[in-house]
Structure 1
Amino acid sequence: MRLVRLLAAALIALAAVIVVVLPSSPAAAHGSVINPASRNYGCWERWGSRFQAPEMATEDPMCWQAWQANPNAMWNWNGLYRENLGGNHQGNVPDGQLCSGGRAEGGRYNAMDTVGNWRPTNVGTSFSLRLQDQASHGADYIRVYVTRAGYDPTTQPLRWSDLTLVNQIGNTPASQWQPAPQGVQIDIPVSVPGRTGRAMFYTIWQASHMDQSYYFCSDVNFGGSGGNPTNPPTNPPTNQPTNPPTTPPTTPPAGPGSCTATYSQVGSWSGGFQADVRVTAGTAAIRSWTVTLTFGGGQQVAQVWNASATTSGSTATVRNAAYNGALNAGASTTFGFLGSGTSGTPTLSCTATT
C-alpha cells in the first residue's frame, strides 16, 4: 500500500511539471504602438485567440514564423524594451536588429527582425500614430521615424541609415495622455507627403519612470486599398501631439448635436477583418454619440474597443465609452472592432446628444 501511495504522489508531481498554461492575454504592463500595429502586437491582435490555426501559415506567413519561433513575443507584445542604455540607441541596437530592440529580453523578439512580407497597415500620407501605455509610464520623449523612399521592408533588413525622423515629442507625463481601456494612449501626428507603396515606421519610446527604451517596427502601405476606397480617412496633424487629433467631417454637419462617422479597414484575413471608425462632432460640442453600422453581406461585429456595442444580425449599434463621449465642436475620437465574414464597407449613421 505504501508503494502505491508513493507512485500516486510521483504521478501527481509529474503532471504538475508537464502541465503548460498558455496566457489568454498579455501581461498588463508597459505598452506598444497599436496603430499602425507593431509587428508583434499585430500578430497577437490577429491570431492571439487562434494562434495554433494552421491557416496562419499561408494567410499570414511572417506572423506564422514569429509564433513558431517564440509565442511569448506575441503574448508579451508590450514588453519589447531595453534598460539602462543612456539614450545611446544606435550604439546598443545594431543594424539588422532594430525590430527586436537589439535582441531584447534574451532574444525573445528576434523573429521581429526576419525580413519578409509582413502584413502592412494601409495609411495615408498624413495620419496619427497611436502608442498605448498600459502602465501609465509617460515619456521622456517619443521619436517616430519612417524608412527612406526606395527602401523595401519585404527584402531588406532595417538599418539606422534607412530612417528619417518625421516627428518627436519631449517630456510628456501620463496625465497628459488620453485615457485608454488599459492605461493611457497618445496620438503622434506624422506627415510624409508624396509617399506611396511599402514602408516602415520605427518608434522609440523613452519611458519616464526609469531608463527604459522601447522599440517598435510598424509595417505600412501608403495609399493601400484597405478600407473604403471612395472615402479614405483623413488625419491631418495637430499642433499639440498630446491632444486627440482632429479630422474634418466627410460631409457638412447637420447642426448642433450632429456627428459623422468615417470607416477605415485596417486588415482582413479568411473569415474576418479589422476596422476603425472615426467619430467627429459637428458645429457644436456633444456629450455622447452612437454609431450604427449595417453590413450588406452578412458580416457581424465580433469585438469592439474604445466603445461598447450591441448587435442584431448584421447591424451593430456602437456607443461611446465613458471617457470619449464628450467632444468639442469638430473634434474626433476613434473606436476599433473585429468583424466576422468577408470584409466589406458598412452603411454608417451617427447620432449625438448635446
Structure 2
Amino acid sequence: MNLARRIALIGGAAALASGFAVALPSEPAEAHGGFTFPATRTYACYKDGIEGGSGGSLNPQNPMCQQALAENSYGFWNWFGNLISDAGGRHREIIPDGKLCGPTEQFDAFNAPGDWPATEVQSGDTVTFEHNAWAAHPGTFTQYITKDGWDPSQPLGWDDLEPAPFDEVTNPPKRSGGVEGAEYYWDATLPDKSGRHVIYSIWQRSDSPEAFYNCSDVIFGGDGGDNGNEDDTQAPTAPGAPTADSVSGDAVDLSWAASSDNEGVTRYEVRDAATGETVATTSGATSATVGSLDPETDYSFNVVALDAAGNASDASPAVSVTTDSADNTSGACTVDFTIANEWSGGYSANVELTNDSDSALSSWTVDWEFSDGATVTNAWSADVEQHEAHVMASNAGWNGSVPAGGSVSFGFNAETTGSAAAPEEFHLDGSPCSTA
C-alpha cells in the first residue's frame, strides 16, 4: 500500500528530550506538483493570497479565493498536493461529478462554480505548459477541455469535458528556474475555443497508483469582461540586456531591465540564445536563476516578455557567460546532515541549512530521499512530510526568514530496520544543495 505521512510541527528540540510523540493522520502527503501555467485554481488563489497579504499572510482579492480560504486554508499552502493516493487510473470511477477540481475534503472548496482567477490564452496557440515538480515522479499528464456550451454556473462534471484529451505527455523534461522552483515543461497546442473554459489535467504516476488533479481556469481570445483584452495585438517592448549577477559551476543568476506593454507584462522567459529553448520563467520578476548547467561551459541567454494576450516581445540582447569549475557547483545552499543519536530500530538527526546565495530567503523547503528505509516519526523546528522514501521539510511559522549567509536548523526522529545512513542529495525549493 502506498503510505504517506504528514508530521506535525513540534515547537522545539525540547520535545525530543521529553520523548514527545506525534500522532500521524491517515491523510495523504500534500506535496508533489501542480500547474503554474496555466495556473491551477489552487495556485492562482495561493498567489492572489500572497500578493494581497503581508508578512506571509494570505489576503486574496478574488471573491472565489476569499470563499475558499474561509472554508479551508489547506488548499492554499498545499496548492501542489491535490491528489488521491490510490487512484490507479480509476478517475471516473472514484471521483463523482461536481468533485473534479477538489476530489478530497481538503480541496472541496475549489469545486464551487464562479469567476475564479483565469489565465488569458489564445485559441490554437502553441504554449509551454509549466507544472511545478516538488517531487519528481514518472507518469503521464493528460489534459481535457470543457465542451462548448458547458455551464460554468454548475460544479464541473465529467460530461462537461470533451470526450478525448487535447494533450497528453509521458515523462516530460524537467528544469530548474521555474516560478516555484523545479518544473516539468512541454509544448501543447490549445484547442479551438472561445470564452471561459476549464483545462482539466490528470497526472497519473506510473510507479504508483497515486494521481494528481488540476483545474486551470482559462479565457480564450480575451472573452471575459474585465479580464478580456481580445483586441490587444501590441507586443511588449524587448527587455533590457540581461546581466550575469553570479555564476557558479552549474548555475547563473540573471537580471534585466523591465519591458513595457500597453496592457502589462505577465511573464518573462529566459531562453538559450543558441537553441531557443526556454530555460527559466518568472511571473513578472526581472531576475531568474538558470540551473542544471555544465561546469566550464560557454552559454548565451536572452529574455522574451509576454503579455496576457500571448503577445511576445522581440528577444533582448544576449549575455554570454562561462560557468565556473566543477568545484563551485550548487552554490545556493549547503546542507549539513548529522546523525545525532542511533539506537536499535531508529535514530535522531539534525539538519542545518545554510543560505549561500546573495539574497535572503523568506521561506524554504528542503527535500531528500532516504536510502536506509527510514520513516520519520516526529520532527522539530520544521513541518515534515514523507511519501515513501521522499521527505520534504518546510519552515515553521517563525523560522522561514534566512539572511544571505545565514543558517537555520531542524531535526527529526526516525524508525528504520537497518543502519542509519545520511541521504546523498538535498534540494532547496527544487534546486540542488552542496553537502557539508
Distance in 2 between residues matched to 1:346 and 1:169, nearest whole Å:
25
The alignment-based identity, stated in percent, is: 26
Deviation at 1:347, TM superposition (A): 9.0
Distance in 2 between residues matched to 1:40 and 1:68, nearest whole Å:
14
Contact 2:202–2:212, Cα closer than 8 Å, also in 1: yes
- CA-atom RMSD, angstroms? 4.4
Determine if the alignment matches structure 1 residue 178 to structure 2 residue 175.
yes
Equivalent residue for 2:46, pick from 39, 44, 47: 44
Deviation at 1:169, TM superposition (A): 3.4
Partner of 1:352: 318
- How many residue pairs were aligned? 254
Determine if the alignment matches structure 1 residue 136 to structure 2 residue 144.
no
Partner of 2:31: 29
Equivalent residue for 2:200, pick from 179, 202, 207: 202
Change (3 A) 1:274 1:48: farther
Distance in 1 between residues matched to 2:132 and 2:149, nearest whole Å:
30
- Where in structure 2 are the equivalents of 1:316-335 lying within 5 Å? 318=287, 321-323=290-292
Partner of 1:218: 216
CA offsets 1:86-143 (integer angstroms, 9 cap, x no match): 211000000011000x2x2xx111111011111211111123332221111232x111
Change (3 A) 1:79 1:287: closer
Change (3 A) 1:189 1:349: closer
Deviation at 1:162, TM superposition (A): 1.2
Contact 2:203–2:211, Cα closer than 8 Å, also in 1: yes
TM-score for both structures, normalised by structure 2:
0.49
Change (3 A) 1:223 1:69: same
Give 1:229's aligned amino acid. D
Distance in 2 between residues matched to 1:60 and 1:130, nearest whole Å:
23
Distance in 1 between residues matched to 2:313 and 2:304, nearest whole Å:
17
Distance in 2 between residues matched to 1:81 and 1:288, nearest whole Å:
28
Partner secondary structure for residue 143 of structure 2:
strand
Partner of 2:107: 109
Partner of 1:277: 268
TM-score for both structures, normalised by structure 1:
0.59
Partner secondary structure for residue 184 of structure 1:
strand
Give 1:146's aligned amino acid. I
Moved more, 158-167 or 113-122: 158-167
Distance in 2 between residues matched to 1:306 and 1:99, nearest whole Å:
24
Partner secondary structure for residue 169 of structure 1:
strand
Distance in 2 between residues matched to 1:352 and 1:145, nearest whole Å:
37
Partner secondary structure for residue 317 of structure 2:
strand
- Where in structure 2 are the equivalents of 1:279-318 lying within 5 Å? 285=275, 305=282, 309=286, 318=287
Distance in 2 between residues matched to 1:200 and 1:171, nearest whole Å:
21
Change (3 A) 1:307 1:221: closer
Change (3 A) 1:327 1:263: farther
CA offsets 1:192-250 (integer angstroms, 9 cap, x no match): 12x211111000001244211111101111011359912369xxxxxxxxxxxxxxx99
> Any unmatched runs of 5+ in structure 2?
1-28, 223-227, 239-257, 321-436
Give 1:185's aligned amino acid. Y
Give 2:188's aligned amino acid. P
Contact 1:30–1:79, Cα closer than 8 Å, also in 2: yes
Contact 2:272–2:299, Cα closer than 8 Å, also in 1: no
Distance in 1 between residues matched to 2:278 and 2:155, nearest whole Å:
46
> Any unmatched runs of 5+ in structure 1?
1-26, 234-248, 251-260, 291-303, 310-317, 338-344
Give 2:290's aligned amino acid. A
Change (3 A) 1:280 1:184: closer
Change (3 A) 1:134 1:353: same
Distance in 2 between residues matched to 1:75 and 1:145, nearest whole Å:
26
Distance in 1 between residues matched to 2:313 and 2:87, nearest whole Å:
50
CA offsets 1:156-185 (integer angstroms, 9 cap, x no match): 22111111234343541x7x3233453332
Deviation at 1:28, TM superposition (A): 9.0
Change (3 A) 1:210 1:180: farther
Equivalent residue for 1:93, pick from 92, 95, 104: 95
- Where in structure 2 are the equivalents of 1:146-157 lying within 5 Å? 146-153=145-152, 155-157=153-155
